[in-house]
């Protein structure tokens, strides 16, 4: 008998095709489990920078984020799933894990993989790799 019920799924989004695949997989899971989805769009921002981003660049990024999150919300709604959204700034992997383990207490993380090669991953790291190794809840990586 299954003792652990999946009722809250966290889906990191970044506007890529892979994150959309992760969202689609999370929607399928949510439909089967009766779960809600929270999409988090984490924007990398160094802790302190002498050079601040140009205002027009930041405005266009915010517009892009809002557009993608709205598309995600519509896709979830078409499938009868409640979709909540969050936007975070800072270290991307850290933000995802922190949100998953905070007061919200998510049951699962569904994250799209970028599909980096192992050689590149050694040098650059990977958000999905970081999340897999630091999250204390189940993580499903979608390729």
pLDDT band at residue 103 under the 50/70/90 scheme:
confident
Domains of the chain: 8-142 (3.40.50.620)
Q: Please give, one letter per residue, the 3-state secondary structure of 52-105.
A: CCCHHHHHHHHHHHHHHHHHHHHHHHHCCCCEEEEEEEECHHHHHHHHHHCCCC
Host H or E run for residue 121? helix 118-124
86 forms bridges with which residues in the sheet?
40
Quote the pLDDT of residue 143: 86
> What is this structure's pTM?
0.86
Mean local confidence (pLDDT), 88-99? 92
Residue pair 40/11 in contact by the 8 Å Cβ criterion: yes
CA distance 140 to 132: 8
Taking only the tens place, the pLDDT of each residue in 47-67 is 655 555 555 567 778 899 999
**Percent of the chain clearing pLDDT 90 (strictly above):** 64
């Amino acid at each position: 008998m299954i003792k652990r019920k999946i009722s809250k799924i966290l889906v990191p989004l970044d506007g890529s095709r892979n994150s959309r695949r992760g969202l689609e997989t999370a929607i399928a899971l949510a439909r089967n489990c009766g779960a809600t989805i929270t999409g988090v769009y984490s924007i990398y921002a160094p802790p302190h920078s002498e050079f601040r981003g140009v205002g027009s660049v930041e405005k266009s990024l915010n517009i892009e984020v809002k557009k993608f999150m709205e598309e995600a919300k519509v896709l979830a709604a078409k499938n009868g799933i409640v979709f909540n959204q969050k936007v975070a700034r800072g270290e991307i992997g850290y933000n995802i894990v922190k949100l998953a383990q905070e007061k919200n207490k998510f049951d699962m993380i569904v994250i799209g993989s970028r599909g980096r090669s192992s050689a590149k991953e050694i040098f650059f790291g990977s958000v999905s790799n970081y999340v897999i190794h630091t999250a204390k809840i189940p993580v499903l990586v979608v390729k």
